[in-house]
Chains A and B, each alone.
Chain A
Amino acid sequence: MSDAAAEIVLVEDSPDDADFFVHVFEKTGLAARLHILTDGAEALDFVFCAGRYAGRDPSCRPNVIILDLKLPKVNGLEVLRQLKADPRTRSVPVVVLSSSQEERDLVASFELGANSYIVKPMEFEEFSQTARLIAQYWIQFNQPPRT
């Protein structure tokens, strides 16, 4: 595990889904910072330390980016494409968490290099469990490269 504090980035425009995630995340008791970004442009600024995130330390890489696909301004697939196309951010794990079960979204996501694709469960219990597992897996179990 990295020495720096663990970080999860959630890119989610729906305040409801974001609230659910926060609700679940807080109950996990994981020692990690949760950043919530509400559109694709903000997500890109964050990962590339631009705009209002210009002061962010670029060496500080999140343990996982949980990415919704349907986002205002820049959509999730485009965020994913830019992220995976850049050597600085390519190795950051991206989990797509979307309402869409459309085959083309799955295909496009994996082609662009998504590390995982999860359909948001309709039922709250399932959603909670899924969110908890994602957070635990990427923070507690996954071993990212040091540099």
Chain B
Amino acid sequence: MRPAQQLKASLKEIDDLKAALDEHAIVAVTDPRGKINYVNEKFCAISKYSRQELLGQDHRLINSGWHSRDFMRDLWATIARGKVWKGEIKNKAKDGSFYWVDTTIVPFLDEEGKPCKYVAIRADITERKKAEAAAAHLAAIVECSDDAIVGKDLRGTVTSWNTGAEKVFGYAAAEMVGQSITRLIPSERLEEEQRILSQIERGENVRHFETVRVRKDGRPIEVSVMVSAIRDQTGRIVGASKVARDITEHKAAMAEIAKLNAELEKRVTERTAELEAFSYSVSHDLRAPVRAIAGFARMLQADFAERLPLEARQKLFRIHENALKLGQLIDGLLAFSRLGRQALNKRTLCPGALVNGVLEELQSEQRDRNVTISVGQLPECEADPLLLQQVFTNLISNALKYTRQRNPAVIEIGARRQDGACVYFVKDNGAGFDMEYAHKLFGVFQRLHREDEFEGTGVGLAIVQRIVNRHGGRVWAEGRPENGATFYFTLQDPL
């Protein structure tokens, strides 16, 4: 071959190689200062700059700023020394997006041995980098989980073991990877693993399976396990991932709660039984001697009165009165205690009808008195009719009692809306009370008046409060000495 022909053939070969290179790689040539003298199509495509925009520009145009100063300094130092540099670089395209390139920079030297140009050949690895980042992210999630996340193949050999697994089971990854998972399973439960693996092989996952495993230190722990199949790219099941959570403490806490609840329930039952036994015994045993005292006093009065001096008869009278009073107190206390136990029989009702019934019953207490009673609109409510009637009976008979010295006695029964709740009230113009003692009004056996002013047992308002509370409501009162009192109650507290 002639030299011209040879040259032509060589040039053709170089062209062919260049064409092949351009097909595969991103190519750029810069001068020793980094000024771009040549870019191929792929360079333009990935950097999104046109050739015109690139030629003559500093190569730093596509610098992403992502790499450290040391990294860049090392790169330049290497090629300036005439050495080839290889590495992965993150660059910035014209539109601000980033791309990764696997890069080889080859310095070409002049006669003096100094670099006269750099040829950079790169391959786009952006996708791979993204995948790596995603994988690293997933790995980090797995790694930082408190749950044990374990990979195993279909023979039960451990393939991965996260930090959570180290904490839960006490074995380091190095001790477990390559070992059989059965190491964790107590001997009496070994068949579990076989069952799990065959389930996985059939493509079924295992959800929240609670079992026992053994830690490296021999301590058994209760775990909740989820096992899912791992498939390869072709969809074939190649193993299983197992997430295990140590629920020993949780279980212990649940058991403790159950135990405490049972104890509490037992105690409530005992207390209720005690209380019932108590009031049953009060009902039988306390009433009998009271009846005897009253009875014998009465028999004495009936059979021996004329033989007794006046003073003795008076004292006998007081014994009898007091015995009766004690009887009333006992009955009041019993009624009060029964209220706490009796089931509520709630229904929708009109308090107006109840109030009319109560007023009818209390007719006798108005005899020979000037009493004005007004009943306003009383909205429907949910309540136990007998108990609500008791509330009105107690409040209205109180109103009648404490207005005894009034002429006229004025009693008003009504209702109003307040903060979304229906508030019923019974208002009178009677003896009233000092607000300073308002807190004592509803206590059992608490009285704000002397027995010789207004008789009573001190149970009525306590009963009112108990009934109202059992309905989920509230009772309160306002009053001033000698200026009347108003008792308010709700049956349900508004939400």
Where the two chains meet, the residues of A that have a C-beta atom closer than 8 Å to any C-beta of B are 14, 16-17, 20, 23, 69-70, 98-102, 120-125, 127
Mask: chain B, 275-291; 1 = CB below 8 Å from A; 0 = not = 00000100111011111
- Tell whether B401 is near chain A: CB-to-CB under 8 Å: no
Give the docked Cα–Cα distance between A123 and B288 (Å): 11
Rounded to whole angstroms, the CA-CA distance of A49 and B165 in the bound complex is 83
B295 CB contact (under 8 Å) in A98, A100, A124: A124
Q: Are B284 and A70 in contact (CB under 8 A)?
A: yes
Most buried by A among B287, B290, B295: B295
Task: Say yes or no: A122-B294 contact (C-beta < 8 A), given A99-B287, A101-B334.
Answer: yes
10 residue pairs bridging A and B, Cβ less than 8 Å apart: A14-B292, A16-B296, A20-B292, A70-B284, A98-B284, A99-B287, A101-B334, A121-B291, A122-B324, A123-B294
Residue-wise, chain B 256-299 has the 8 Å CB interface mask toward A (1 for contact) of: 00000000000000000000000010011101111110111111
Most A CB atoms within 10 A — which of B292, B297, B324, B327? B292
1/0 per position for B284-317, CB-CB distance to A under 8 A? 1101111110111111000000000000000000
Chain A residues positioned under 8 Å from B297 (CB to CB): 124
| Interface pair B280/A123, CB less than 8 Å apart | no
Contact A102 B291 (CB under 8 A): no
In the complex the two chains form, what is the Cα distance from A124 to B327 in whole Å?
12
Q: Establish whether residues A120 and B291, one from each chain, have CB atoms under 8 Å apart when the complex forms.
A: yes
Instruction: Identify 5 new A-B residue pairs, CB closer than 8 A, beyond the known A99-B288, A124-B297.
Output: A23-B299, A99-B284, A101-B334, A120-B288, A124-B291
Residue in A69, A98, A99, A120 with the greatest tally of chain B CB atoms within 10 Å: A99
Query: Given the interface contacts A99-B287, A100-B280, A123-B324, does A16 sit within 8 Å of B292 by beta carbon?
Result: yes
A108 to chain B, nearest CB (A): 12
Closest-by-CB residue of A relative to B335 is A101
Q: With the chains together, A69 CA to B288 CA distance in Å?
A: 13
* Pair count A-B, CB < 8 A: 54
Q: How far is the CB of A61 from chain B (nearest CB, A)?
A: 29
Q: How far apart are the CA atoms of A101 and B285 in the complex, in Å?
A: 12
Asked if A16 contacts B288 (CB within 8 A), the reply is yes
Counting from the closest, the 9 A-B pairs by CB-CB distance are A16-B292, A124-B298, A122-B327, A124-B295, A99-B287, A70-B284, A99-B284, A100-B283, A20-B295
B288/A124 in contact, CB under 8 A: no
Q: A17-B292, A101-B334, A102-B280 are in contact. Are A122 and B287 (CB under 8 A)?
A: yes
Q: List B residues 315-350 near A (Cβ within 8 Å).
A: 324, 327, 331, 334
Cβ-defined contact, A101 with B283, below 8 A? yes
Interface size class of B (residues with CB under 8 A): 20 to 34
Q: B299 → chain A, closest Cβ, in Å? A: 7
B283 contacts A99, CB within 8 Å?
yes
Cα distance, A14 to B331, chains bound together (Å)? 20
Report B313 CB to chain A, min CB distance, Å. Answer: 16
Task: Kindly identify which residue among B283, B289, B295, B331 contacts A102, using a CB–CB cutoff of 8 Å.
Answer: B283
Q: How far is the CA of A20 from the CA of B302 in the complex (A)?
A: 13
Question: Contact: A17 with B291, CB < 8 Å?
Answer: yes
Using A23-B299, A122-B324 as known contacts, say yes or no to A16 and B291 having CB atoms under 8 A apart. Answer: yes
> Is B284 in contact with A100, judged by CB distance below 8 angstroms?
yes
Q: Which residues of the other chain, B, contact A121 by a CB distance below 8 angstroms?
A: 291
Separation of A41 and B298 alpha carbons in the complex (Å): 32
- Taking CB as reference atom, which chain B residue is nearest A69? B284
Q: Which residue of A lies closest to B323 (CB)?
A: A122
A122 to B280, CA, bound (A): 16
A120 touches B295 (CB 8 A): no
Residue in chain A with minimal CB distance to B301: A124
Contacts of B331 in A (CB 8 A): 122
B299–A124 touching, CB < 8 Å: yes
B288 touches A125 (CB 8 A): no
Chain A residue numbers with a CB within 8 Å of B327 are: 122-123
Task: Tell me the complex Cα distance, A122–B322, Å.
Answer: 12
Q: A100-B280, A102-B280 are in contact. Are A122 and B290 (CB under 8 A)?
A: yes
A16-B296, A101-B334 known; A127+B284 contact, CB < 8 A: no
If A101-B334, A122-B324 touch, whether A17 touches B284 (CB-CB below 8 Å) is: no
Q: Closest Cβ of chain B: how far from A109's Cβ, in Å?
A: 14
- Closest CB-CB distance, B297 to chain A, in whole Å? 8
Q: Within 8 Å CB of A23, what residues of B?
A: 299
Q: Taking CB as reference atom, which chain A residue is nearest B294?
A: A124
Nearest residue, chain A, Cβ from B334? A101
In the assembled complex, how far is the CB of residue A57 from the closest CB belonging to chain B, in whole angstroms?
33
Cα distance A101–B282 when bound, in Å?
A: 11
Residues of chain B lying within 8 A (CB to CB) of residue A100: 280, 283-284
Residues in A whose Cβ lies below 8 Å from that of B289? 16
Q: How far is the CA of A136 from the CA of B296 in the complex (A)?
A: 23
**In the assembled complex, how far is the CB of residue B123 from the closest CB belonging to chain A, in whole angstroms?**
93
Complex contacts, B283 vs chain A, CB 8 Å: 99-102
Compute how far the CA of A99 lies from the CA of B289 in the bound complex, rounded to whole angstroms: 11
Cβ–Cβ < 8 Å partners of A101 in chain B: 283, 334
What is the CB-to-nearest-CB distance from A21 to chain B, in angstroms, rounded to a whole number?
A: 10
Tell me if B298 and A125 are in contact (CB < 8 A).
Answer: yes
Could you tell me which residues of chain B, from 127 to 172, have a CB within 8 Å of some CB in chain A?
A: none
B298 proximity list for chain A (CB < 8 A): 124-125
Mark contacts of B415-438 with chain A using CB atoms, 8 A cut-off: 1 yes-contact digit, 0 otherwise.
000000000000000000000000
Query: Which residues of chain B come closer than 8 Å to A17, judged between CB atoms?
Result: 288, 291-292
CB-CB under 8 A from B295, the residues of chain A are 16, 20, 124, 127
Tell whether, in the assembled complex, residue B334 and residue A127 are in contact, meaning their CB atoms are under 8 Å apart. Answer: no
What residues of A have a CB within 8 angstroms of the CB of B299 in the complex? 20, 23, 124
